[in-house]
Amino acid sequence: MQALGLSLPDCILPLPRFSMNATPPNFASFLSTTSPSKLSLTTKPLIWVHKTPGWRSSHGGSLGVQCATNDDGFYIRKCVELARKAIGFTSPNPLVGCVIVKDGKVVGEGFHPKAGQPHAEISLHCYFKLVWRLDCQVFALRDAGDLAEGATAYVSLEPCNHFGRTPPCTEALVKAKVKKVVVGMVDPNPIVASKGVDRLRDAGIEIVVGVEEELCKSLNEAYIHRMLTGKPFLTLRYSLSLNGNFLDSLGNGVTDCGGYYSRLLQEYDAVILSSSLFSEKLSADSVSASQEPGANQPIRIIIHKDPSSSNQIPLVINKVTDKVIIFIDYRTATSPEVAQQGIETVSLDQINLDVILDYCNRQGLCSVLLDMRGIFNGFEELVKEGIKKKYFNKFVTEIFPIWNGCAEADPLLPLKNLEQGVEVENLRSKASSQSVVVEGYFKF
């Protein structure tokens, strides 16, 4: 990275020269989200404001510096809050929220509700006739143009500047005659990547980029990962006793509305399960559905290596979801019921993560949860492969207040004996009704 010098009274600031080919940062983090990207110079944080009309992110240019107010971070956090309302519905598109502020008042807000529907900025443009203010007692109808003109638009992700299933967000902002746009982060999608920012700047709109950037990155960590790697964001979930033994259990209440497992099912596009869950002693309760209001249920990917469980798969899974695919070993036969009910089946010489993740990517899936329940042997090779090839991004571990014995061989022993150690970072914990859930990120 090269640097230029910008002379200010009593100081010189280095200006970064960005390159579209630069190595992207690690987006999977839960860093502090209380302050925007900044340079310490005065009592107020400084952010880069790109002033030159012809500036492009692939080369240097004349830049100005402006003090960011605390309001910028506040409204971007509000954008993220709005965007979260669509968790589980926008994939493969990102979550995006937008707030329009004029004279210190919120005059419009919106979020991208579903793939193929208007994006956050366009939702605002279409629904500006409803005026939302911080005072919930005050509502008014106003002309859209009058409200937008001269206002500041805050958006968690760079507005798009291309035609897809929806028109460009940038054109809605330009036509609305907003004065300024504050962007949480640049979109890593090559189709967008700074083009939206460039279009707005060329239209004479003041641009600020990188406010609450880490928060905005964590909001769309799965989308960002798929854009940068071409593979879905992969999370490993499992349960342990206090003394580290593997448990084939979910805690009480975790599958209910608001429980961590119910929210995981709402958040992820697909869940990998073992066919051992579909034995005769197990019912549809073994294949939980998200209980969040209006939740979009994930695709169930069944790893089928146990012939004795084949007859139970369609009987159980159809009570939960009709979105199912079964990956089977070529030596394993499936029951006639599977074919009769139109369940997609893929026969492989060897079931592996490469094939599964490539399938998910082709289906446009951004996030996959590998849920280690049932017989652990069905997952052992997949987990080893995920660690060896560094496919795992995140883990979620439910720890039970149990100190149990292990009469049989520890099923986790092959993983504990792996030569390749893995560091983890950004750990967070939260208490459930009868367990503690720890989540974090693999640092390969």
CB atoms within 10 A of CB 177: 15
Assess contact for 248 and 274: CB atoms under 8 A. no
| d(C-alpha 362, C-alpha 329), whole Å | 21
Q: How many residues does the chain have?
A: 444
DSSP assignment of 210-250, as one string? Answer: -TTHHHHHHHTHHHHHHHHHSS-EEEEEEEE-TTS-EE---
Find where tokens 């460009």 sit.
Answer: 168
β-pair type (233-240, 246-247)? antiparallel
Assess contact for 293 and 262: CB atoms under 8 A. no
CB atoms within 10 A of CB 381: 16
Query: What are the strands, taking DSSP E only, across 38-164?
Result: 46-50, 63-67, 97-102, 105-111, 130-132, 139-141, 152-155
Dihedral sign computed on CA atoms, order 50, 53, 56, 61: negative
How many H helices and E strands in the chain? 13, 21
- Which tokens in the block code for residue 276? 């051992």
Residues 6+ apart with CB under 8 A from 430: 260, 436, 437
Q: Rounded to the nearest 5°, which phi and psi values hold at 4?
A: -115, 175
As annotated, the active-site residues are 121
Dihedral sign computed on CA atoms, order 76, 209, 366, 322: positive
